[in-house]
Structure 1
Amino acid sequence: MEEDSLPADLVADLQVQRATPVRGGDIAQAYRLDTAHGPLFAKTHASPSPGMFEREAAGLRALREHCPEEVGVPQVLRESSSGLVLEWIEEDGMPARQTEVALGRSLAHLHGAGSGPGVDGSGTSGDPVGFGGLAGDSHGYLGSVPVDLTPTPSWPEFYLRRRLAPLVTRAVGECRLDPAATGILSELEPRAEELCGPISSPALLHGDLWGGNRLVDTTGRNWLIDPACFWGHPEVDLAMMQLFGGFGPECLDAYQEVSPLADNWRERVPWYQLAPLLVHAILFGGGYGAAALRALTRYR
C-alpha cells in the first residue's frame, strides 16, 4: 500500500516508506507504517462515525495520565476525524504470571484515579463530573454503537437509563433481542441500586477491556489499547475481562490485593456483562441476544 492511499492529514511529513495492513479490530483498518524514524501504527476508516477517533484519542490520553508506569498506553502522535497514528508496540503476545500480576495491580490503581474528586469533580480532562463521559462529554461509542455518556451523580441511574435501556430498545427494534427484555428491564429498575452494588465515587474505566485490547510487548509489559473510556463502576471492566477470557486468575487476585472487591461482586458479573452482550447482539446477532436475555432473566 502506498502512502498516498492513507489520509493525508495523518501521514504528512512522517516520511512513510511502506504501509502494511495488520490486525486492528472489526471497525477500522489498521496499518504498520515503516518510516525513516522507525515503525508507527495507523488506523483509519473510510466513513467513521462522528467523533469516533477523537474520543478514542481522548481515552488514550486519559489512560496515559492515570495508569501506573507498569502499564503502557500508546502515545497519540496524530489524530483527525479519519484516523489516528500511534506509537508502534512490538508484541510478544504471551502473558506470563508476572504480566498478569502487574496488570491486576495497575488496573486497581487506575480505578482509584477518580476516588478523590467524587461525583462533584471539577470537570477538567482528568476529573469526573459524575458518572459518564470524560470531562462531561455526552457522546461515546462501544464498538461502533453510539452510547449516551451524559453525566449523572447516580451510577444506577446512569447504568440503567443511559446504558442498558437504550441498548435494549435498539436491540429489540432491530429484532436482535426478544421484546420480553423491555418488560424485564422495567421490572428491575426499582432494584437498580441493589443490582449495581455499592460505589462511592467514579472510577476511570477502560470501557472495552476484552483480551484483544490488552497487548504484551517483547519485554513482558502490558499495554492497553482501543479504549471506550468513561467514569463508572470498576466492576464494569472486571466483568468485561471475564466475558471472552484472555486474562489469568493471577490478574484478579492481584487486583484484589490492592483494591478488595465488594461483597457479592461475583453475582454482579452477568449484570455488568449485559452492555457488551447487547452491543454484540446489535452488531453481530447470533446467540448474543439470547445470552443477554438470560443475563437479564436471572435477576428477576
Structure 2
Amino acid sequence: MTIPAALIDAVRQALLEHVGPAAADVHTMPVGGGDICRAAKVTAGRRAFFLKWRPDAPPGFFAAEAKGLARLADVHRDTGVGVPGVIAVGNGAGGAPPFLLLEWIARERADDGAAAALGEGLARQHLARGPAYGWDADSFLGPLPFPAGWRPDWPTYYRDMRLVPLVAQADRRGLLGAERAARLRKLLDRLEEWLAHRPEPALLHGDLWGGNWMVGRGTAPDAAAEARQPRPYLIDPASFYGDPELDLAMTELFGGFPPAFSAAYQRVRPIDPLYPDRRPLYQLYYLLAHLVLFGETYGAAVDRILRRYVG
C-alpha cells in the first residue's frame, strides 16, 4: 500500500506542534485498518501515532469520529478505560485525502481482568446523560451517514433518525424486495409497542463490536503513569445519545466479550430483565447496516428479526 506524498506532508505539518523538529523525520508503516479505512503507523522522533485515511471520505467523516473520541475521553477520565487521544483531523486540503491522526496504543493481550474493567467502564459511561436522544452533528456508522438532530422520545429517534435512513439506503441499493420492505414498514409503524420503556439518553459508543475494543498501553509522554499501564481501550466510536441497550445488543451480536465483561457491567448498572425482548430490535440496526455495506449475506438475519416481531 502506497501512502500518498501529500498525506505524509499533511501529517508532518500536523505533528510539528506535537513533536517539534522531530516531525521533519517522519516514517510510516502500513498496518491493518479494517474494511472502511486505510491505516499506518507513523513515527516521528521517539513518538508513534496511528494514522487512518479514506480517499472518498464524505465531509465531516473523521471530524465525527474525533468528536466521539473526545466525548468518550471526557467520560472515561476516571473509569479505568482508555480512549486514544486525537492529534489532528485532516479535511482533504492540499491534495491530501481526509485523515485522522491519533495517539498510538501499544497492544497487549486481553484477559478477563481487562474485560471486567471494560464492562464496569461502559456501565459508568452509560450513566453520562445527554439533553435528549440524538447528536448535535452529522454522524456515521462505518461510512453510512446519519443526520444531526434531537428527539424528545427514544422510539421516535430510533425509528426516524436511525432505522429509516438505513431502510432508505438499502432500498436504493435494491436490497429489500417487496416482502422485506412490507415487513419493515409494519415494524416501523408499530415500533412503540416493543420500545415502551423510557431509557435515559445515555452516551453510546455506537458500534461496540469485538474489534472496537482492545487492551493496550497509551504512549502519550505527558500522560499519568497509571494511564500508561495496560488497560482496555475503546476505539472507532459512532457515538450519540440513546438507549444503553443498543450498545449491549451489539456486544452480543458478533461475540468478542467474555462473561467477565457482562458480569462487571451488571454490578454497576443492572440490566432490565426485559432487555432480551428488545435485543433483536437493536441488533436489527447493525444488521441493516451490514446489509447495506456487504449485501444479501446479512439478509436472512434481518428477515429472522422481522418475522419475530411482525410475522
Q: TM-score when scaled to structure 1?
A: 0.88
1:193 match: 192
Flag the 1:39–1:165 CA change in 2: closer, same or farther, 3 A.
same
Q: What's the CA shift for 1:2?
A: 6.9
Aligned partners of 1:39 and 1:88 also within 8 Å = yes
Aligned partners of 1:44 and 1:83 also within 8 Å = yes
SS in 2 for 1:187: helix
The one of 38, 45, 49 aligned to 1:40: 49
2:220 match: none
Q: Distance in 2 between matches of 1:113 and 1:247?
A: 22
**Deviation digits for residues 2-36 of structure 1 (CA, Å, limit 9, x no counterpart):** 78352533321334431001111211111100110
The one of 256, 262, 266 aligned to 1:256: 266
Letter in structure 1 aligned against 2:307: T
Letter in structure 2 aligned against 1:232: G
Q: What's the CA shift for 1:186?
A: 2.9
The alignment yields a C-alpha RMSD, in angstroms, of: 1.8
The one of 109, 129, 132 aligned to 1:130: 132
Aligned partners of 2:79 and 2:124 also within 8 Å = no
Quick check: 232-241 or 189-198, which moved more? 189-198
State yes or no: 1:232 paired with 2:242.
yes
Aligned partners of 1:177 and 1:281 also within 8 Å = no
Runs of 5+ unmatched residues, structure 2: 17-22, 92-97, 218-228
Matches within 5 A, 1:134-213: 136-137=136-137, 139-213=138-212
Q: Distance in 2 between matches of 1:155 and 1:2?
A: 43
State yes or no: 1:28 paired with 2:37.
yes
Q: What's the CA shift for 1:60?
A: 0.4
**Stretches of 4+ moved more than 6 A in 1?**
none
Quick check: 253-262 or 166-175, which moved more? 166-175
Name the structure where helix makes up a greater proportion of residues. Answer: 2
The one of 52, 56, 61 aligned to 2:70: 61
Letter in structure 2 aligned against 1:172: D
State yes or no: 1:19 paired with 2:35.
no
Q: What's the CA shift for 1:283?
A: 0.9
Q: Distance in 1 between matches of 2:205 and 2:39?
A: 20
State yes or no: 1:277 paired with 2:287.
yes
Percent of matched pairs sharing the same residue: 40
SS in 1 for 2:106: coil
Runs of 5+ unmatched residues, structure 1: 115-127
1:9 match: 10
Letter in structure 2 aligned against 1:87: E
Matches within 5 A, 1:74-93: 74-81=84-91, 82-92=98-108
Aligned partners of 1:132 and 1:232 also within 8 Å = yes
**Deviation digits for residues 111-151 of structure 1 (CA, Å, limit 9, x no counterpart):** 0010xxxxxxxxxxxxx332111xx22x2111101123421
Flag the 1:189–1:177 CA change in 2: closer, same or farther, 3 A.
closer
Q: What's the CA shift for 1:190?
A: 4.8
Letter in structure 2 aligned against 1:143: G
Aligned partners of 1:3 and 1:16 also within 8 Å = no
How many residues were matched structurally? 283
Q: Distance in 1 between matches of 2:11 and 2:42?
A: 11
State yes or no: 1:101 paired with 2:100.
no
Flag the 1:180–1:85 CA change in 2: closer, same or farther, 3 A.
same
Q: TM-score when scaled to structure 2?
A: 0.85
Larger Rg: 2
Q: Distance in 2 between matches of 1:132 and 1:287?
A: 30
1:112 match: 127
